[in-house]
Structure 1
Amino acid sequence: MASLTGRDPSLLRRINSTVVLRALRGPDEPRALTLTELVHATGLSRPTVEGVVEGLAEAGLVEEAAEEPGEGRGTARRGRPARRFRFRAEAGHVLGLEIGPHRVAAVVSDLTGHITGTLAREVAETASADERLERARATVADLLRRTDVSRDTLRAVGATTPGIVEADGTVRLGTALPGWTGLPLGERLRRSFRCPVLVENDANAGVLAEHWKGAARGCDDVVMVLAGLSPGAGSLIGGRLHRGFGGAAGEIGALHLLGREATPERLLSTTDEPLHPLDEAAVAQVFALARAGDEHAGRAMDRFIQRLVHDVAALVLALDPELVVVGGWASGLDGVLDPLRAELERYCLRAPRVTLSRLGEAAAATGAVRLALDHVEKELFTVEGDTAD
């Protein structure tokens, strides 16, 4: 905890409240504690703990926990059970929003990250920026109505999208969605909410999600690759998201510009015509044909894997991750992992483990929830100068 200097009583109250909330929130799951247990857990005096709990109860963040079944038995001999207090995870909510080429998805959770509702809607890849944003707003409104969550209880919103996203939520470059480059996405979304809105690249959100609830749990040095025709990647270094100076870290899809002979849309083509960059069904069909023994599809798949290895190896050599998670549309296709593992063994000084995403198409929206939750937890459970994670 940060050392306290000076005699600012408001700062002292803030620190004490943070310490008590941390104890009730727990390292993994919330827990109900007695005042005596809170004194031991926080190192604060009993009168201080009593005052803090009272203040947190008035703020709606803490309440007395109900007695557990059987807890009151034998009260004639032992007296009334000690009162226990719990963190009210339902005191607020966070929202995750994915805005992609083919769909928008919204996810709502309580303040512990327990997901209480999800909703996804298709959107045309040719939709304008205004049409896509309106689809996202309608999806959010429908989800909040279905889950009986008031918009006023939202404490933060995380949003994720393809492209290079600046710190203020502006999409500096977004070629996958019409009208997306230069879009002040964060500003546009903030018009719909009364809470902070944080915007992040979809691969970055994906690696946060896999670290939280997916294939990368317990692993702090991770690269997640969204393996499309123009792949992108998100990276955790020491458990922290690496965005780069301008938010462009992991844009490995640009490597074809460095003298590679094939543009991305031609890699999986089995004819002289390039595939549409967003046509995932056509890509899946090429992989299916390759598995069935089609010669042209097999060569196309080999080109794709070589390109994927080239791109992933660049990040692996630079970052030396423990784990590479493969997501995006390729996460559901057989035949990617074994060749990728074998080629990384050849290219890399120390080959990482390679696995498929466990969250699949839910990764980006789940990562958006994690982004919002991180913001809320920083406000609730951290004081200025605190270095604890």
Structure 2
Amino acid sequence: MPRESGDGSFLRRLNHVAVLRSLHDMESATLAGLARQAQISRATAEGIMEILLRDGWAEELTAGSSEGQRGRPARRFAFRAAAGHVAGVSIGASRMVGKVADLSGQIVATATESVPADLPSADRLAAIVRLVERATAAAGLAPGDLTAVGIGTTGVIDGEGRVVKSVVLGDWTGVPLQAELTARLPVPVLVENDMRLAVLAEHWLGAARGRQNVLYLHTGSRIGLGLLFGGVPYRGSHAAAGELGGQRSSRWAAFHHVMDYAMSVDPGELRAPSQAALFAMDRAREGDEKAAAAVESFANALAEGLVTLVTPLDPELVVIGGSLAQAGELLVEPIRRHLGGVSLYAPEVLASELGGDAVCLGAVRYTLNHAERLLFSS
């Protein structure tokens, strides 16, 4: 039975939110369709729609003509995603990325900033603000036009957006990141761990679409982990879920295989672990059997570490992300094979579809979730 708004302001607000949410969730809708979806009368839906049109939250679509159609076509409406925007920022040691999206999640602008890895925290904070300003300007906006800004950063992040500990950025531990950026930007700022945002992005747009229980393994200059349970990133009791070690680069012994190979082939070149892995992967693609064996040993060592997580957590999917995921099946297939041989219920293993954009896109999605909670709150 249709729900009428009556005279109460609370019921009017409930009906308003119901129509707005229905419009947001549908590509387009008629008044009759919105009334059914929101369980209100058509007259109530029409009154609310006039308010949404006036306030810029909805737009009326141009009626198309259909041959043989009789009578006036029903008016159709759509959610106006450009009525609001959010920004997401990923903070890497030497590279930061900022993206601006409308309320449908469409990316409308991207900006990047290169910084020294040893940049002092005060200068890094200034660079983040500068990046947000450049990204919003590229979208034809000012920072104050945003609904909120989401920040993805390495380290343990507490509930107030403070960096409790960071082993990647030396001058980052203890920085009250959310408070510092809130003081510098004219809109709310949200802060979350980068690996949790990466797995959120894969669930939104990447390899984990439609999956509920996912383990995301970041492979690159460090090893990181993101966990998704029931479609929601898992933070743990102390927001430290996914932190795999206390060493500065969070490296696993798995890199020894590719480092030994790189040194044996090119002893005059000193390479970081991730660079050695990429070197071995490139040589393996060219048909070097020793390189292929080193890469497979590297992948098997990663898989052995994953077993200790896969067995108790029972994920349906493992996503391999980070810079080394560009190797694709060269890295993924040995991990898949190893887990298949030892797991009672072997998860599917896929390479990330988002690459280096995962953290920034996760920050966008995290901030969109915040914007939608505000927009659809009763």
1:188 aligns with 2:184: no
1:164 aligned partner: 156
How far apart, CA to CA, are the structure 1 residues paired with 2:81 and 2:114? 31
TM-score after normalising by structure 2: 0.86
Q: Which amino acid aligns with 1:97?
A: V
Change in 2 beyond 3 A, CA 1:317/1:172: same
Cα drift, residue 22 of structure 1: 1.6
Aligned pairs for 1:92-103 (under 5 A) are 92-103=84-95
Contact in 1 for aligned 2:223/2:244 (Cα 8 Å): yes
Which range moves more in the overlay, 266-275 or 161-170?
A: 266-275
* Aligned partner of 2:105 among 101, 113, 119: 113
1:14 aligned partner: 13
2:39 aligned partner: 43
* Aligned partner of 2:308 among 311, 314, 332: 314
How far apart, CA to CA, are the structure 2 residues paired with 1:40 and 1:120? 45
TM-score after normalising by structure 1: 0.84
Change in 2 beyond 3 A, CA 1:253/1:350: farther
2:56 aligned partner: 60
1:130 aligned partner: 122
Cα drift, residue 152 of structure 1: 2.6
Question: SS of the residue aligned with 2:101?
Answer: strand
1:87 aligns with 2:84: no
Deviations 1:258-311, CA, capped at 9 Å, x for gaps: xx9x7577564325999776x64344224334555475x667645533442233
How far apart, CA to CA, are the structure 2 residues paired with 1:175 and 1:8? 57
Return 5+ residue gaps in structure 1 as ranges: 384-389
Name the count of aligned residue pairs: 365
Cα drift, residue 87 of structure 1: 1.6
Deviations 1:10-59, CA, capped at 9 Å, x for gaps: 33222111110121112xx531x332222222211233223322333343
1:387 aligned partner: none
Question: SS of the residue aligned with 1:243?
Answer: coil
Question: SS of the residue aligned with 2:111?
Answer: strand
The structure with higher relative contact order (CA 8 Å, sep 6+) is 1
1:281 aligns with 2:275: yes
Q: Which amino acid aligns with 2:15?
A: N
Return 5+ residue gaps in structure 2 as ranges: none
Change in 2 beyond 3 A, CA 1:332/1:118: same
Kindly, what percent of the aligned residue pairs are identical? Answer: 38
Aligned-CA RMSD value: 3.1
1:386 aligned partner: none
* Aligned partner of 2:259 among 262, 269, 280: 269
Aligned pairs for 1:284-295 (under 5 A) are 284-289=278-283, 293=288, 295=290
Change in 2 beyond 3 A, CA 1:365/1:74: same
Which range moves more in the overlay, 199-208 or 326-335?
A: 326-335
Cα drift, residue 70 of structure 1: 2.4
Which range moves more in the overlay, 122-131 or 156-165?
A: 122-131
How far apart, CA to CA, are the structure 2 residues paired with 1:103 and 1:139? 11
Aligned pairs for 1:234-273 (under 5 A) are 234-253=226-245, 268-270=258-260
1:361 aligned partner: 356
